[in-house]
């Protein structure tokens, strides 16, 4: 009796092992991977729904290494996005306060701290575009890659303006001749700021056109508003540049009469808020992306 039971149990175990080997072989054969985003797909899927490219049975060693590095890359991009959100929010509050209470910047120490924080904000923007270029853009997004590179150049040029501002507010530590040369270079600032605003607009337009993945599709609304806000920013910077060539002075809205500023500041605020809306949406989408799993 015991011998018969052992034989039956042995046959059952052999059958289970055989079925397990068959199922494992089937899964190995049918599981497919996307060569672009490296996502794993179940049996029956042949095209990646995000990247729209044919799936492959195995990933190369280089692709596996990239897949393992992606969580760290996304985390760096999230940090960069969070930093630029904080920086732009600071600029928004600073410009609003300077418009309605210009006297707060009369103190030299306040001006020095403000200029230093503005420089750090410029660094966060540069860090964001560099991280975006390295960790987010896909190979097929050629236009987005180009305009992101332009924004890296434009942001670097803006950083030079911030350095100029730092030199001027700390002028006690440099020669009077250098201070005089920097003070007389009025044309550089409005031109660089205007060109940089155009680069930003082109960035959002390209992002809206080349939304390839599902995660990017969720951002289309935020990107659309950012395009509108960036267009307004270009118009305002064009107005400032035109005013310079007309009156030979570079004046922002906060430097104008309080009545004029109170009308124009809400428009500028809307422009900044649309960019912040995109950045917050992008930050949240990266959090969702890091929690993604195989289909």
Question: Which of 25-34, 83-92, 159-168 is least confident?
Answer: 25-34
Question: Do residues 35 and 162 both lie within one domain?
Answer: no
Question: Do residues 188 and 211 both lie within one domain?
Answer: yes
Number of domains in the chain: 2
Residue 100's pLDDT is: 66
Question: Do residues 122 and 249 both lie within one domain?
Answer: yes
Question: Do residues 85 and 55 both lie within one domain?
Answer: no
Question: Do residues 104 and 46 both lie within one domain?
Answer: no
Between 150 and 91, residue with greater pLDDT = 150
52 occurs within a structural domain: yes
Judged against a pLDDT cut of 50, whether residue 151 lies above it is answered with yes
- Tell me the per-residue pLDDT of 211-253, one tens digit each, with 9 for 90 and over: 755 556 678 889 999 999 999 999 988 887 887 777 665 555 5
For range 2-7, the mean pLDDT: 58
* C-alpha distance from residue 202 to each of 39, 73, 283 (Å): 30, 25, 20
For range 177-181, the mean pLDDT: 62
Question: How high is the mean pLDDT of the chain?
Answer: 76
295 occurs within a structural domain: no
6 occurs within a structural domain: no
262 occurs within a structural domain: yes
104 occurs within a structural domain: yes
Taking the C-alpha atoms of residue 295 and residue 23, their distance in angstroms, rounded to an integer, is: 19
Residue from 192, 198, 253, 193 nearest 230 by CA: 198
Question: Do residues 211 and 246 both lie within one domain?
Answer: yes
The rounded percent of the chain whose pLDDT value lies above 70 is: 61
For range 149-155, the mean pLDDT: 96
245 occurs within a structural domain: yes
Pairing of strands 40-41, 32-33: antiparallel
For range 139-143, the mean pLDDT: 82
For range 178-202, the mean pLDDT: 79
Which residues are CB-neighbours of 2 under 8 A, at least 6 positions away? none
Which of 38, 59, 80 delimits the end of a domain?
A: 59
Per residue in 140-158, is it b (16+ CB within 10 Å) or e — as a string? Answer: ebeebbebbebbbebbebb
Domain extent, residue 48, equals 26-59
Which of 59, 81, 100 delimits the end of a domain?
A: 59
pLDDT category, 285, cuts 50, 70, 90?
A: confident
Question: Do residues 51 and 191 both lie within one domain?
Answer: no
- Tell me the per-residue pLDDT of 73-130, one tens digit each, with 9 for 90 and over: 778 888 999 999 999 998 888 777 766 676 676 777 877 888 888 899 999 999 999 9
How many other β-carbons are positioned within 10 Å of the β-carbon of residue 263?
A: 11
Residue 214's pLDDT is: 54
Question: Do residues 75 and 50 both lie within one domain?
Answer: no
The structure tokens 């799993």 sit at 293
**What CA dihedral angle connects 148, 135, 119 and 163, to 10 degrees?**
-60
47 occurs within a structural domain: yes
Question: Do residues 100 and 46 both lie within one domain?
Answer: no
21 occurs within a structural domain: no
Judged against a pLDDT cut of 90, whether residue 269 lies above it is answered with no
Which of 59, 84, 106 delimits the end of a domain?
A: 59
């Amino acid at each position: 009796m015991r011998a018969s039971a052992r034989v039956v149990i042995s046959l059952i175990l052999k059958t289970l092992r055989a079925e397990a080997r068959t199922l494992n072989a089937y899964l190995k054969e049918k599981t497919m991977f996307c060569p672009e985003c490296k996502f794993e797909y179940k049996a029956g899927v042949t095209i990646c729904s995000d990247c729209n490219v044919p799936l492959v049975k195995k990933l190369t060693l280089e692709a596996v290494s990239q897949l393992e590095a992606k969580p760290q890359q996304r985390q760096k991009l999230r940090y960069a996005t969070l930093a630029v959100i904080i920086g732009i929010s600071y600029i928004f509050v600073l410009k609003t306060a300077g418009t309605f209470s210009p006297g707060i910047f009369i103190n030299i120490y306040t001006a020095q701290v403000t200029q230093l924080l503005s420089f750090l904000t410029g660094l966060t923007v540069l860090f964001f575009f560099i991280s975006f270029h390295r960790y987010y853009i896909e190979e097929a997004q050629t236009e987005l890659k180009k305009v992101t590179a332009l924004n890296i150049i434009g942001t670097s040029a803006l950083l030079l303006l911030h350095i100029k501002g730092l030199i001027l507010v700390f002028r006690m530590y440099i020669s009077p001749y250098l201070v005089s040369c920097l003070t007389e270079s009025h044309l550089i600032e409005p031109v660089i700021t205007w060109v940089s605003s155009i680069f930003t607009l082109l960035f959002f337009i390209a992002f809206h056109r080349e939304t390839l993945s599902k995660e990017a599709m969720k951002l289309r609304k935020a990107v659309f508003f950012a395009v509108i806000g960036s267009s307004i920013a270009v118009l305002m910077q064009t107005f400032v540049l035109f005013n310079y060539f007309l009156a030979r002075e570079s004046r922002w809205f906060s430097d104008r009469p309080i009545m004029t500023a109170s009308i124009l500041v809400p428009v500028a605020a809307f422009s900044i808020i649309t960019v912040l809306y995109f950045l917050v949406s992008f930050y949240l989408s990266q959090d969702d992306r890091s929690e993604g799993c195989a289909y």
